[in-house]
Amino acid sequence: MRLPIYLDHNATTPLDPDVFEAMRPYFLEKFGNPSSVEHYYGHEAAEAIEQAREQVAGVIGARPEEIVFTGTCTEANNLAIQGVARAHEDKDHFVTSVIEHASVLQTFQWLEKHGKKVTYVGVDEYGRVSAEEVASSITRTTALVSIMAANNEVGTVQPIAEIGRLCEERGVLFHSDLAQAAAYLDTNVQRDHLHLASLSAHKAYGPKGVGALYVRSRSPRARLMTHVFGGGQERGLRSGTISTPQVVGMGVALVRSKAVRVGEAARLRGLCKSLLETLREATDRVVLNGHRTLRLPNNLSISIEGVEPHALIRSVRGSVSFSASSACSTREVRTSHVLVALYGDDWRARNAFRLAPGRFTTDAEADAAAAAIGSAARRLRLTTASEVSN
């Protein structure tokens, strides 16, 4: 059976075959516990983890000892925010944006329930945060600012270097969720004035089930409280036996992504441009969401007036796979908080969906997907118009 064309790479990416081959031995022959360094098998696993730590650090301009491996990027976000809050009890204020990932927003909401104060900075119509507004939100009791590098829904890239500089000038720690950025954007934690940064493997053609948190060790040191208690692994911040295969895969995946980043970014921008042009030729009232140029190269957030995204997804399910920006449950369809922040709760927010090609998407697949989606959108609009007239 021919599988549907996959255009949901902002949700997850397929595992790169080279990454899988690097991981394979650590599932089978090299299975030791990396904490058992006194014997051959444990030492072998520990060396592999330290190599991966060096690889991840090298990709973002960090020191190896500043990389803490976690189970997911969500966990890394939680460790950064909760870790700072618990380590700085004398400071009760935090700053973030209204379009952050749920793992960030819900952690801040949890802090608010426990007596902390959080300022939620808004965005412009392109989903861009103002560095000046972030800076003006900082007070003498601000412990942390957390702004994602690039939005997963509309693709807008944030001015994190400018925000980081302003935070550093004010003596406030700055954290960024780099989940979407690692595969396609040039990020350097020193240049961008980052003190904490969360990373995901499976958004960069690596395995699911592993993430990492960069924790600056000096000038200034980012001080965190322990997240998971136990055997004291990962600098005592996140105890538990590390999954050697996943960590190895993350290191290789990020190195591989960095090596092909420039060429892939240019190619994917071209694919997204072609997708948008084909859709606009196929049907009218197609609008691009997010920033026109300052965006992830593989993200195409679109709204088509009169076309409901979930109906569109169902109509092409056998040929194309992509995501709606609204969340669908058994009881209701909930409009994305990101799109509402940009456009309010109108048709543009409700009708948003995301096409995200990736490393293995071909030109022919992109053309076929656009044709299928365009044709389905025309049919749905005609059906809707007919139902309204009747």
145 contacts 134 by C-beta, under 8 angstroms: yes
Residue type at 223 in one-letter notation = R
Nearest to 265, CA basis, from 204, 190, 191, 320:
204
Instruction: Write down the catalytic residue from 73, 167, 272, 328.
Output: 328
183 contacts 358 by C-beta, under 8 angstroms: no
Catalytic residue at 167? no
Distance CA 38, CA 20 (A): 28
Residue 47 CA: distances (Å) to CA of 35, 87, 92, 123: 11, 31, 40, 44
Residue 26 CA: distances (Å) to CA of 72, 96, 261: 19, 39, 27
Q: What are 69's strand-pairing partners?
A: 212
Residue type at 157 in one-letter notation = V
Distance CA 24, CA 43 (A): 18
- Please give the positions annotated as active site: 328
